[in-house]
Structure 1
Amino acid sequence: MSQYRTFTAADAVAYAQQFGGVESPDELVDAQEIGDGNLNLVFKIFDIHHRSRVIVKQALPYVRCVGESWPLTLDRARLEAQTLVEHYRHCPQHTVQVLHYDPALAVMVMEDLSDHRIWRGELIKGAYYPQAATQLGEYLAQTLFHTSDFHLHPHNKKALVAQFINPEMCEITEDLFFNDPYQINERNSYPAAIEASVAALRDDSALKVAVASLKHRFFSHAEALLHGDIHSGSIFVADGSLKAIDAEFGYVGPIGFDVGTAIGNLLLNYCGAPGQLGIRDAAAAREQRLTDIRELWQAFATRFARLAATETHDAALAAPGYVEAFLKKVLTDAVGFAGSELIRRSVGLSHVADIDTIADEEMKHACLRHAIELGKALILVAGQVDNADELLIRVRQYS
């Protein structure tokens, strides 16, 4: 068995030559480290014609942006690879393909997506991909339905839960989403100018009860194999194409968490647009984000219901009206989780470029306050939201 070592660029090239599955592997000659996240090394592997051919990704045994003082399990590389492989089985058109995985080295080789762009950057620029929201809804429906009790035999579902137990990465999510923003914590990171908004989170007892309910659902509702971190920075887009990547937070949890995280990130762009674009373009972008959210939910709910109608064999789950009731619960969960995503991105460790890169400081602070207030409102009214249009009304109400 291989012994773990941190890859250099030369190691990544040699590994890609062996496991990249390309014709003429000797033509793979160079690597560029492109990882801009908190957890991993990511290498693009180039051939003699300077074309990027495959990606080599290695998990580090610590949080990259902090250092060795925050250790992390290398088993997350297994969980990521197996989550992506499982999701690719059910939705290959919207999941990055894993070509090879080595558990001892915590390395995997994946298809190159150089003809795609990270969706977050495209959203910030105001670039529009007409099919992206619908494609994301399709990805969520296919992957979450086919790894749920609606599709799997109970024995297989329980085996899936055991395979994807991910306590260390779930603990990070639990802290960043449901603990840190609502207390004084050294991991929190936000401008002093918004201290009053953050302090109000710590003092809002009704909000903290609602957040506790969300956390309990995250703990206890083992509904489907989640991506676990399906934000706009974990999605690549091109004309007519969308691919999900970065699934190291994969585990079996509440379906609404993935749906809500996706919606929450579209709302982050909604909140940040006035600081990233001109007045007219920002207004158009915000309207488009609301349309995207409606299309995402409709694509997800429609496909999930169709799959349930044809592929659910459990008599109780196939009872007339149950799928509709279940999807209503998923939407309720998703609205709450979307709100928690808005708050944790504004207050906590993992800021996102939708707001964090706004050049004008006063505008940045205004956008952060908006995201916090919108997040708080969504968490508190989640149980009152019955459909996507009602969600959009609520968003406009708190804008």
Structure 2
Amino acid sequence: MTVIKESIYEPLTEQTAIELANRLNLFQEGASLTCNEIGDGNLNLVFHIQDTNNKGIIIKQALPYAKVVGESWPLTLLRNKIENEALRVHGQFVPSLVPEVYYTDEELAVTVMEDLSYLQIARRGLIEGKDYPLLSQHIGTYLANTLFFTSDYGMNQQNKKRLAKEFNNPELCKITEDLVFTDPFFNHETNNFEEGLKSFVEELWADEHLKLEVAKLKQKFLTAGEALVHGDLHTGSIFASSTETKVIDPEFAFYGPFGFDIGQFIANLLLNALSLEQDEREKLFNHVEITWNVFSTTFTSLWKTESVEIFSKTNGYLDYVLDQIIEDTIGFAGCELVRRTIGLAHVADLDEISSDDIRIHAKRNALKLGKALITNRKQIRSIEQFVTYIRGVLQHD
């Protein structure tokens, strides 16, 4: 395929996105194309291009700054390469659960990929009350395969070290370090919360035991290069239907701890649960259980049949690894609950609750639950105990 490249980076418009699609010959010659910029995230432009037969593609372009703040917050365009490579690597292990990539251009920071517009962003669907019966099964499968096969258990250790160098992602990791593990636990200017939460937030900031436990989790995030993690696996990074699931947007990918992706996903299920009445939450708790059970069962099977680590046959080693993963998962989930409530980037699950009283109440519960998970994660040894513990924390809300 011959492509005429622009000489310098320039943000695409709807018209230049169509021109790029034509140069790539992704539609029939002379096809009438329409284009809409549909990006609702903080970091990128996203264009949906269709012909008159409803054949479509997605063109995603990284911006050199964070949309949520503006040009005063510059960002590297190399994150586009990170995202492409992560989709390629993860696609080797779970091709049905990630979008197909058609073309990439590092200079333009562009990725052209499969059109998933026939699916719905899982966060929006959950807010609307959809169940997505296969969501947790699919995500558990995604997590087990992508984490196992990019770890020292699923690939040659030397190859893993070489792969880890390709996913050196300091700028986006710094965003996570600050916005997930640091800023929400201090009186920082990036924090954003309602006046009705102020007393709860100030109490959280004054809790030295909580800060100690967050510091330990941050240290794990900074130092544990266990597997290639997605790095931003929330329900807004997943397209879903009743039969399909596709994980998108791995631009935060890096070599990090096993439990980070699992914890972020589970926390976002819990954030949706917290927006519901008590009797409506069980379907989300069920998703939490299924996610972990599918992950642990699949990871165990891969460990027994595919591990390249000789110590994998040592009695007790697998149990030790899974115990550490669930402990980290619970702690990371707690951090995500706190930061999505009072940090810079919120979630629509809570922010769109129209009643001020109900919204503040739900957010107080998110802070209470987040703090409890961070500080008591070592006492929870199974997913059943985890969900029972959550019910206990929330039973008097």
Shorter-chain TM band: over 0.9
Name 1:360's counterpart in structure 2: 355
Does structure 1 residue 15 correspond to structure 2 residue 11? no
Name 1:314's counterpart in structure 2: 309
Name 1:333's counterpart in structure 2: 328
Q: What does residue range 51-62 of structure 1 map to in structure 2 within 5 Å?
A: 51=54, 53-62=56-65
Name 1:277's counterpart in structure 2: none
Find the aligned partners of 1:111 and 1:14 in 2 and give their Cα distance: 18
Name 2:96's counterpart in structure 1: 93
Q: Which runs of 5+ in 1 are unaligned?
A: 275-281
Using structure 1 for the length normalisation, give the TM-score. 0.95
Find the aligned partners of 2:304 and 2:72 in 1 and give their Cα distance: 50
Name 1:161's counterpart in structure 2: 164
Does structure 1 residue 379 correspond to structure 2 residue 383? no
1:181/1:201 contact within 8 Å kept: no
One of 173, 177, 187 as aligned partner of 2:176: 173
1:17/1:28 contact within 8 Å kept: no
Find the aligned partners of 1:318 and 1:7 in 2 and give their Cα distance: 53
2:77/2:109 contact within 8 Å kept: yes
Name 1:5's counterpart in structure 2: 10
Name 1:43's counterpart in structure 2: 47
Say if 1:28 and 1:159 are closer, same or farther in 2 by CA, change over 3 A: farther
Using structure 2 for the length normalisation, give the TM-score. 0.96
- The sequence identity of aligned pairs, in percent, is 42
Name 2:392's counterpart in structure 1: 397
1:266/1:289 contact within 8 Å kept: yes
Give the aligned residue type for 1:64.
K
Find the aligned partners of 2:307 and 2:318 in 1 and give their Cα distance: 10
Describe the superposition over 1:224-269 as per-residue Cα deviations: whole angstroms up to 9, x where unpaired.
Answer: 1010000000001012110000111000000100000011000101
Deviation of 1:52 (Å)? 5.2
Name 1:114's counterpart in structure 2: 117
1:266/1:293 contact within 8 Å kept: yes
One of 171, 182, 185 as aligned partner of 1:182: 185
1:91/1:142 contact within 8 Å kept: yes
Name 1:139's counterpart in structure 2: 142
Does structure 1 residue 105 correspond to structure 2 residue 128? no
Find the aligned partners of 1:28 and 1:134 in 2 and give their Cα distance: 40
Q: What does residue range 115-130 of structure 1 map to in structure 2 within 5 Å?
A: 115-130=118-133
Give the aligned residue type for 2:12.
F
RMSD: 1.2
Deviation of 1:28 (Å)? 5.3
2:152/2:308 contact within 8 Å kept: no
Deviation of 1:313 (Å)? 2.1
Give the aligned residue type for 2:361.
A
1:56/1:110 contact within 8 Å kept: yes
Find the aligned partners of 2:107 and 2:313 in 1 and give their Cα distance: 43
Give the secondary-structure state (helix, strand or coil) at the position aligned to 2:272. helix
Find the aligned partners of 1:203 and 1:221 in 2 and give their Cα distance: 28
